[in-house]
Amino acid sequence: MACQETDDLCHADPRGALMIIKGQATVVKHTGSHYLLSCLPEWDMFPAVLRGKIRLKGSTATNPVAVGDVVNFEAEVPEGVAAQELTAYVTPENAAVITSVEPRRNYIIRKSTNLSRQSHIIAANLDRAFIIATIDFPEIKLPFLDRLLVTCEVYNVPPTIVLNKVDLYRESHKEMIEAFHEIYEGAGYTVLEVSALTGEGIDELREACRGHVSLFSGVSGVGKSSLIKALDPSLEPKVGEISDVHLQGKHTTTFYEMYSLTSGGFIVDTPGLRGFGLVDLKKEEIALYFPEMLKAAQGCRFTPCTHTHEPGCAVKEAVEAGEISYDRYSSYLGMLDEEGKYR
């Protein structure tokens, strides 16, 4: 197509004269040293590699570029090719080159559980996190859910809680579901009830995903892959290829991927959630990330207040009055206790 106006040149060199196109795109897949870029909201993926070392100031992350990053790239294409036609010419053999990364709005990291203190950026520039949970199958662990919520708050990614598999326990766990809504809606979160199996609540979840880049997170087995497939059956063959097992090996390539929903919006799946949910927080910081405690803490007599033994603590008063859920408070105490263990 680029050859139309430069016919002679093309006969001499099938690729014609080359030129460099510069542009900006989003990273939609990261596999070791290879990336796929796309100019969102289109889904026109093309391969890219990093040029030299891109280091971000102050970052100890093993990957300088992550899924969701907006990057500047250069690509070599035949003269006359328009930017929209890039994908036809940028192939793995002639990949685009990532030259720099735009500042991130937010990002989430996965800490290595060994002592190296290395971290891996899972995804950047997320609009929302859907924390997938089940009351049963597998049985919910509220402290872990609270830890995930705190992590989202720390990373500045607003979380929505999705209770999946309600087909399995709606009848048997009626009261627990009710209590769950009370605890988490009381803390200021939205709770959606869905079933990837029956399709219940899926339209609502699809609506919530439209127009955003969303993280899907939650422990293994809660139905993250099933939900993504329910949201968009055309993703079926791709979803769930990456398993926990892949991520645990020392030298295996860690990769993350963004999915494009036909209905609009993008999802980043986080298989192998080990290490996510571990954030370094000082004791006095933890309560800042429990939104309902942060609000109540304005009334505490002392600042800082750990909301444990201090007289005139408005948080403890709110717990006693039933305005703050005892379960949430108890997760908070657990985190205070464990503080420092992950360093």
Interface residue list for ligand GDP (CB under 6 A): 164-165, 167-168, 195-197, 220-226, 240
Closest to ligand GDP by CB, 38 or 195: 195
Binding mask 280-319 for Zn ion (x = CB under 5 A): --------------------x----x-x-----x-x----
Q: How far is the CB of 221 from Zn ion (least distance, A)?
A: 37
Closest to Zn ion by CB, 224 or 316: 316
Which DSSP helix (H) or strand (E) runs through 161? strand 159-163
Binding-site partner at residue 300 among Zn ion, ligand GDP, none, CB < 5 to 8 Å by type: Zn ion
Residue whose CB is nearest to ligand GDP in the complex, by number: 223
Closest to ligand GDP by CB, 36 or 196: 196
Cis bond upstream, residue 138 (ω within 30): yes
Instruction: Scan for tokens 């405690």, then name that residue.
Output: 293
Residue 189's alpha-carbon distances to 103, 185, 240, 311, in angstroms, are 28, 5, 27, 29
Q: What is the CA radius of gyration of the chain?
A: 23
Q: Are strands 18-31 and 255-260 parallel, antiparallel or unpaired?
A: antiparallel
Closest to Zn ion by CB, 248 or 308: 308
Binding-site partner at residue 315 among ligand GDP, Zn ion, none, CB < 5 to 8 Å by type: Zn ion
CB 39 within 8 A of CB 23: yes
What phi, psi does 91 have (nearest 5°)? -115, 170
Closest to Zn ion by CB, 275 or 334: 334
Binding-site partner at residue 305 among Zn ion, ligand GDP, none, CB < 5 to 8 Å by type: Zn ion
Binding-site partner at residue 222 among ligand GDP, Zn ion, none, CB < 5 to 8 Å by type: ligand GDP
| Alpha helices in the chain, H assignment, sequence order | 7-12, 86-89, 142-155, 166-169, 174-186, 202-209, 224-231, 244-248, 283-286, 291-296, 314-320, 326-338
Binding-site partner at residue 307 among ligand GDP, Zn ion, none, CB < 5 to 8 Å by type: Zn ion
Q: How many CB atoms lie within 10 A of CB 326?
A: 11
Binding-site partner at residue 196 among ligand GDP, Zn ion, none, CB < 5 to 8 Å by type: ligand GDP
Closest to ligand GDP by CB, 73 or 216: 216
d(CA 218, CA 326): 23
